[in-house]
Amino acid sequence: MKKSSLSLALLLTALCHTGVAVAGVTVAFVKPDRYLDMPFSPWEKDVVMKDLNEYLVSLGAKWLPAGQDLKIDVLDINLAGILRNQADGQQIRVLRGGADWPMIELSYTLSSSGKALRTGTDRIADMNYFQSQVRDYAKSRESLYYEKRMLQDWFREKFVAARQ
C-alpha cells in the first residue's frame, strides 16, 4: 500500500472510531476539458483541480455543522489573469485587473441525513479581484489566491451567513 493510501486509511479509521460526526464536502469536476480557462498541460490542470478540491473540503471542515454534507459539481472555471506565451514556449499567467477576473460556475447540494436542505447553481465571479484589498500579503502569493478568496466569500454567504 502506498504511503498516501495508508495515511488516508488510518485517518478514516481514526475518524470512524472517534464517534464524531464529520461534515463532508465532495467535489466533482464535470468535463474539465471544456472549461473556459485552464492550464494547457495535464499536470497543471490536475494541480488546479487538486488545490480547489482541497480548499473547498477545508472550508467545509471549518464551517459546516457536524452531520451536514455538501456535494459540489464544478461546471466551469475561468482563472484570474490571462495566459501569455513566453519566448521559450512556456506560459505564464498575467494578472492585469481588467476583463480577466476569476469565475467559477458550480452546482451544489447541501444535505443532512440523506435529505437535501438546499440545492442550487451559482456563477461566482469577482470582477474587482485586483482592486480588492489583499487581506494577507503572504497568502496573496499562494496559488489560486483570488479564486480561493472568491470561493471563501461564496461559502460564507451561502452556508454560514444563511444559517445565522
| Residue, of 47 and 85, whose pLDDT is higher | 47
| Residue, of 149 and 6, whose pLDDT is higher | 149
Task: State how far the Cα of 17 lies from the Cα of 98, in Å rounded to an integer.
Answer: 51
Weakest-pLDDT range from 34-48, 64-78, 89-103, 109-123: 89-103
Weakest-pLDDT range from 6-15, 96-105, 118-127: 6-15
* pLDDT for the residue 6: 39
Task: State how far the Cα of 99 lies from the Cα of 148, in Å rounded to an integer.
Answer: 19
Which residue matches cell numbers 519566448? 87
Task: State how far the Cα of 45 lies from the Cα of 50, in Å rounded to an integer.
Answer: 9
Write out the three cell numbers for 80.
484570474
pLDDT at 49 over 80: yes
pLDDT at 25 over 70: yes
Question: Ranked by mean pLDDT, which of 36-40, 80-84, 99-103, 104-108 comes out on top?
Answer: 104-108
Contact assessment for residue 56 and residue 147, using Cβ atoms and an 8 Å cutoff? no
Residue 101 main-chain phi, psi, to 5 deg: -70, 160
* pLDDT for the residue 148: 94
pLDDT at 67 over 60: yes
Alpha helix positions (H), 30-96:
42-63
pTM value is 0.76
Nearest to 95 by CA among 108, 80, 110: 80
